């Protein structure tokens, strides 16, 4: 016989998005339970493994609303996301201050806006494990944040049910959700709730969905994530008529190709800065994307190649020693080498192309075209367009010449369930599904598009979790 539980709010997933909804709604009086598929304690999710930078579009999350709006629209200019952009912009500062008051410690980790609001203790590291095999995230950053919010939820009278996987939504009609079916220890329970929030992350670890939407070769993508994002919430929502959007885009970075087989090379260092400052080519020695659009965009383009593991970043000694090789957080020079990585090196383009098994004529002509762009400011007619922006482009002229084979590292998928400004799920008729909400990486519409515009996973989870919790407690108890 199926058991039955009753709550005002049932949350699927115990990451930042889910806990933000739960804590906010609980402090406003909602009888709340979070159903987390993982075990009690250190259950894995992206929020636990995070480096901990709360930003919006790689800059200060506490900027004025109009500044944030402008920044978001610049990176997602082809998306109709005004409702979500407005919600994120106007609530960013408020939600961050709220989280601090719940006991989550935020520090300034660097001079720029990207690092102005970082979780403490800091969590960004160059490799996946400390010496001795201890995971880098334990006792730091997202791990401390989740434990702090979980403790606060318990203090407020909320529950967290572990080893509890949501398997289906309970609906009264096509336009009303009234609960969720949860499986724990082989037994299914009907959880009746006035409000159900899907917050179980994206579908980055689901190879079938990756193949459907992102890459024809899912195994060629490095799982730069916790492995917990299977897209179950998205699939459950679709089953009852929810609209989804933007599944083709993801947030990730270029990684050393050996990261696929060696934990020393993930989640850092990333190779983005060298690709944006120099160039990236395929197995034929040809450019295939606009490197000026940034590392997240390039990573998406690599994933879409017929042969994603054919990609190679090409640069010279000047870029390596005095330019993008030493740029950004935990740069490849020196951290790739310190981790045990190796550069492919040639004293001439001919020698480099020989080692790469790329036709010398092709690689040389591509490098010549790249240098022409650097000197003249525009590409030749037969070359992919290249954006001229904030990233300086370096010529490839000074030997030795170098190459780094790369792979696309996927952290979370940007697309998913379409929602309004309060996290209410929208159906295929563009109406709200009453009683059903979605927040965090399982949602779509804010990020992605043709430029693979990245707003920030932590800010998205926190803001929309906070907004949904506030709305539910105020309107749907």
When comparing pLDDT for 327 and 212, which is higher?
212
Rounded to an integer, the average pLDDT of 347-371 is 98
The span from the CA of 50 to the CA of 226, in Å, is 9
Give the helix ranges, DSSP H, for 315-449: 317-322, 332-338, 349-356, 360-376
Answer with the residue of higher pLDDT: 417 or 175: 417
The proportion of the chain whose per-residue pLDDT surpasses 70, expressed as a percent, equals 97
Equal fold, 3-247+414-475 vs 250-410: no
Secondary structure of 203-243 as H, E, C letters: CCCCHHHHHHHCCCCHHHEEECCCCCCCCHHHHHHHHCCEC
Q: Is pLDDT at 131 greater than 60 in this prediction?
A: no
Strand partners, 53: 118
**Cα 33 to Cα 180, 194, 197, 241, 359, distances in angstroms:** 12, 12, 10, 25, 60
- Asked if residues 49 and 415 have their Cβ atoms less than 8 Å apart, the reply is no
- For residue 384, the model assigns a pLDDT of 87
Domain boundaries, the chain: 3-247+414-475, 250-410
- Nearest Cα to Cα of residue 367 among 337, 330, 394: 394
The reported pTM is: 0.96
Is residue 344 classed as helix, strand or coil in its secondary structure?
Answer: strand
Buried b (16+ CB within 10 A) or exposed e, 304-326: ebeebbbbbbbbbbbbbeebbbb
User: How far is residue 61's CA from residue 348's CA, in Å, rounded to a whole number?
Assistant: 45
Tell me which H or E stretch contains 47: helix 46-49
Residues 361-412 pLDDT 10s: 999 999 999 999 999 887 876 788 898 877 899 999 999 999 999 999 999 9
Model confidence pLDDT, tens digit, residues 183-222: 999 999 999 999 999 999 999 999 999 999 999 999 999 9
Q: How far apart are CA 428 and CA 185, in angstroms?
A: 35
On average, the pLDDT of the chain sits at 95
Q: Which residues pair with 12 in a beta bridge?
A: 35, 198
Name which CATH class applies to 250-410: alpha beta
User: Which homologous superfamily is 3-247+414-475 in?
Assistant: FAD/NAD(P)-binding domain (3.50.50.60)
Dihedral sign of CA atoms 231, 236, 239, 240 in order:
negative
| Tokens of residue 37, six digits | 């598929």
In three-state secondary structure terms, 398 is coil
* Lowest-pLDDT range of 52-61, 94-103, 134-143, 304-313: 134-143
């Amino acid at each position: 016989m199926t058991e039955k539980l009753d709550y005002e709010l049932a949350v699927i997933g115990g990451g930042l998005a889910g806990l933000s909804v739960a804590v906010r709604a609980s402090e406003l009086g909602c009888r709340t339970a979070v159903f987390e598929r993982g075990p009690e304690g250190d259950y894995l999710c992206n929020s636990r493994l995070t480096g901990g930078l709360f930003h919006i579009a790689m800059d200060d999350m506490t900027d004025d609303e109009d500044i944030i709006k402008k920044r978001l629209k610049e990176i997602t200019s082809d998306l109709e996301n005004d409702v979500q952009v407005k919600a994120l912009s106007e609530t960013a500062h408020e939600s961050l201050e709220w989280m601090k008051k719940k006991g989550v410690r935020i520090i300034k980790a660097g001079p720029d806006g990207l690092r102005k609001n970082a979780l403490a203790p800091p969590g960004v590291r160059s490799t996946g494990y400390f010496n001795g095999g201890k995971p880098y995230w334990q006792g730091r950053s997202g791990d401390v944040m989740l434990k702090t919010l979980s403790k606060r939820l318990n203090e407020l009278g909320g529950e967290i049910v572990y080893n509890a996987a949501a398997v289906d939504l309970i609906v009264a009609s096509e336009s009303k959700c009234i609960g969720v079916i949860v499986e724990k220890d082989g037994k299914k329970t009907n959880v009746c709730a006035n409000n159900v929030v899907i917050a179980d992350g994206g579908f980055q670890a689901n190879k079938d969905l990756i193949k459907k939407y992102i890459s024809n070769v899912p195994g060629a993508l490095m799982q730069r994530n916790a492995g917990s994002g299977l897209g179950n919430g998205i699939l459950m929502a679709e089953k009852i008529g929810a609209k989804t959007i933007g599944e083709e885009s993801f947030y990730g970075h270029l990684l050393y190709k050996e990261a696929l087989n060696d934990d020393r090379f993930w989640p850092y260092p990333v190779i983005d800065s060298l690709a944006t400052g120099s160039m990236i080519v395929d197995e034929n020695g040809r450019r295939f994307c606009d490197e000026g659009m940034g590392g997240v965009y390039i990573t998406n383009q690599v994933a879409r190649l017929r042969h994603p593991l054919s990609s190679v970043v090409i640069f010279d000694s000047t870029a390596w020693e005095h330019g993008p090789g030493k740029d950004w957080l935990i740069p490849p020079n020196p951290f790739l080498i310190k981790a045990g990585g190796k550069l492919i090196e040639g004293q001439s383009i001919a020698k480099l192309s020989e080692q790469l098994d790329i036709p010398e004529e092709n690689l040389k002509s591509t490098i010549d075209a790249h240098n022409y762009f650097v000197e003249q400011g525009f590409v030749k007619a037969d070359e992919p367009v290249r954006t001229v922006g904030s990233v300086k482009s370096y010529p490839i002229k000074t030997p030795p010449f170098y190459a780094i084979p790369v792979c696309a590292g996927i952290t979370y998928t940007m697309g998913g369930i379409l929602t309004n400004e309060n996290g209410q799920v929208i159906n295929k008729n563009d109406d709200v599904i009453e009683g059903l909400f979605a927040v965090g990486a399982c949602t779509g519409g804010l990020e992605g598009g043709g430029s693979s515009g990245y707003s920030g996973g932590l800010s998205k989870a926190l803001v929309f979790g906070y907004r949904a919790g506030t709305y539910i407690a105020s309107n749907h108890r």
